[in-house]
Structure 1
Amino acid sequence: MSERANGGRGVETRQRILDAAERLMAERGIEGVSLNEINSAAGQRSTASLHYHFGGREGLVRAIMQRHGPWLRARHEELYARLVGDGRQEDVRALAEVIVLPPAEYLELGPSPRAAIRIWVSALNRPQLDIEEVSHLVDPVLTDVGRRIVALVSRSMPRELAVERLFLASQAVLHLLADRAALEDASDNRRRPLPLPLMAANLVDMTVAALTAPVGAATARLAETAFDRAPA
Structure 2
Amino acid sequence: MASPSTRDALLEQGALLFAREGVDRVTARQLHDAIGARNESALHYHFGGKAELVQEILRIHFAAVEARRAQLVAAIVAGDRTADLRTLVHALAVPMADDLESPLGRAHLRIVAQHSHPALAYQISFRGEAPAGQAVARWLREALAGLPDTVRAERFAALRVQLVSLFAARARLLDDEPAGHTTNELFVNNLIDMLVAGLSMSPSAETLASQTVNE
Return the TM-score normalized by structure 2.
Answer: 0.86
1:35-60 Cα deviation digits (max 9, x unpaired) = 33222222234542101111112211
Q: Does the Cα contact within 8 Å between 1:18 and 1:64 map onto a contact in 2?
A: yes
What is residue 117 of structure 2 aligned with on the other side? 125
For residue 224 of structure 1, what is the amino acid of its counterpart? Answer: T
Partner AA of 1:33 in structure 2: V
Structure 1 residues 226 and 47, CA gap change in structure 2 (3 angstroms): farther
1:174 aligns with 2:164: yes
Pick one of 151, 155, 162 that aligns with 2:142: 151
Residue number among 124, 132, 141 corresponding to 2:132 in the alignment: 141
Select 2:212's aligned residue among 196, 219, 224.
Answer: 224
Asked whether the 8 Å contact 2:83–2:142 carries over to 1, the reply is no
**Partner amino acid for 1:143?**
Q
Conserved 8 A contact 1:76-1:141: yes
**Rg larger in structure:** 1
Once the two structures are TM-superposed, the CA of residue 211 in structure 1 deviates from its matched residue by 0.8
User: What 5-or-longer segments of structure 2 have no aligned partner?
Assistant: none
Alignment of 1:13-52 (within 5 A): 13-45=6-38, 47-52=40-45
8 Å contact kept, 1:150–1:159: no
1:208 aligns with 2:196: yes
Structure 2: how far apart are the matches of 1:123 and 1:152? Answer: 29
| Conservation of the 8 A alpha-carbon contact between 2:7 and 2:46 | yes
SS at 2:70 equivalent: helix
1:81 to 74, 90, 94: 74
Pair 87,135 (structure 1): closer, same or farther in 2 beyond 3 Å: closer
State the number of aligned residues. 210
Residue ranges of structure 1 left out of the alignment (5+ in a row): 1-7, 228-232
Taking the aligned partners of 2:159 and 2:179, their CA distance within structure 1 comes to: 25
SS, match of residue 211 in structure 1 = helix
Whether 2:88 is the aligned partner of 1:95: answer yes
| Matches of 2:28 and 2:134, distance apart in 1 | 33
Equivalent-residue separation in structure 2 for 1:49 and 1:126 (angstroms): 33
Residue pair 1:153, 1:162 contacting (<8 A) in 2 also: yes
TM-superposed deviation, 1:207: 0.9
Change (3 A) 1:126 1:213: closer
Identity of aligned residues (%): 29
* Shift of residue 197, structure 1, vs aligned partner: 0.9
**CA contact 1:146–1:166 (8 Å) conserved in 2:** no
State the Cα distance separating 1:20 from its structure 2 match.
2.2
Deviation for aligned residue 1:76? 0.3
Q: Residue type of the partner of 2:108?
A: A
